[in-house]
Amino acid sequence: MIRELICITCPRGCHLKVDENLNVTGNFCPRGAAYAKAELTHPVRTLTSTVVIKSNLDNRVPVKSNNPLPKELIAKAMEEINKVRLSAPVHIGDVAIKNIFDTGVDIVVTKNVLE
């Protein structure tokens, strides 16, 4: 069976076709083949979300995973993120959750909230 997917590695957005042996066509460059193989064998996603913060300025502060997480962990990671309560001040790069699910990936703050 041929699987079809769009490479999201760069804005060119090549339309990829992948056969059952993970042979990839339609990719303009090698990164497309690597993306397709990873997507079909071990898909990962960078997680972006927000967490609750106690602050005079904001109710929530944006966070993201500092590396991609296995796609199957994204929903569980969101549950953990929803439990987090931060207090100002926080700074870009501060760790909201360290080593989530022993993946080696941290959930980090992406905005300064100073008061």
Name which position in 4, 22, 28, 48 contacts ligand SF4 (CB under 6 A): 28
Residue number of the CB atom closest to ligand SF4: 32
Name which position in 4, 23, 31, 112 contacts ligand SF4 (CB under 6 A): 31
- Nearest by Cα to 42 from 5, 70, 77, 8: 70
Vertex 38: Cα angle to 28 and 75 (nearest 5): 125
Q: Which stretch binds ligand SF4 (CB under 6 A): 27-35, 39-47, 66-74, 75-83?
A: 27-35
Residue owning tokens 């997680």: 47
Name which position in 4, 10, 76, 101 contacts ligand SF4 (CB under 6 A): 10
What residue ranges in the chain does DSSP mark as E strands? 3-6, 15-18, 24-25, 44-45, 48-54, 60-65, 69-70, 85-87, 95-97, 107-109
- Indicate whether 69 belongs to the interface with ligand SF4 (CB under 6 A): no
Cβ 27 to ligand SF4, closest distance in Å? Answer: 4
Residues contributing to the site for ligand SF4 (CB under 6 A): 7, 9-10, 12-14, 27-29, 31-32, 35
